[in-house]
């Protein structure tokens, strides 16, 4: 595809359930970023991958959050035992390398009931 693809677009889960969010970056993009965007706020950095290596996960809010990119392309963000405060839009972005402009997906809107 022409851009970063994220699925699902919307996810509703009950508190305590596990969720998995998928990001398909632009082909050939080495760098992949995950962000969390709460209502009325800007995106907040969660984690960064360079190919399959997770080089920075300093933004993950707790050990319930886990991200992987096993083959250096598609990435999955998993949230275990979801809490209401996890409700947000989760954005994925990719770039040719970490110094180049990031291309964003449409995001996944996660609602925890």
Q: For binding to another protein (CB under 8 A), which residues are involved?
A: 3-4, 31, 33, 35, 40-45, 48, 50, 55-56, 58-59, 91, 93, 98-99, 101-107
Nearest distance from residue 65's CB to another protein, in Å? 16
Nearest distance from residue 11's CB to another protein, in Å? 18
SS3 10: strand
- Asked if 107 and 90 touch (Cβ cutoff 8 Å), the reply is yes
Closer residue to another protein, CB minimum distance, 55 or 113? 55
Nearest distance from residue 95's CB to another protein, in Å? 10
Work out the number of other CB atoms within 10 angstroms of the CB of residue 52: 13
Compute the distance between CA of residue 107 and CA of residue 27 in angstroms, rounded to an integer.
18
Closer residue to another protein, CB minimum distance, 36 or 82? 36
Nearest to 25 by CA among 7, 43, 6: 6
């Amino acid at each position: 595809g022409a851009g970063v693809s994220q699925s699902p677009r919307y996810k509703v889960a009950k508190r305590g359930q596990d969720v998995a969010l998928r990001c398909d970056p632009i082909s050939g993009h080495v760098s992949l970023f995950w962000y969390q965007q709460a209502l009325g706020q800007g995106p907040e950095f969660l984690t960064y991958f360079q190919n399959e290596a997770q080089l920075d996960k300093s933004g993950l809010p707790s050990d319930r959050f886990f991200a992987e990119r096993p083959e250096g392309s598609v990435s999955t963000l998993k949230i275990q035992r979801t809490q209401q405060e996890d409700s947000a839009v989760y954005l994925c972005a990719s770039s040719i390398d970490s110094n180049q402009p990031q291309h964003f997906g449409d995001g996944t809107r996660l609602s925890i009931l």
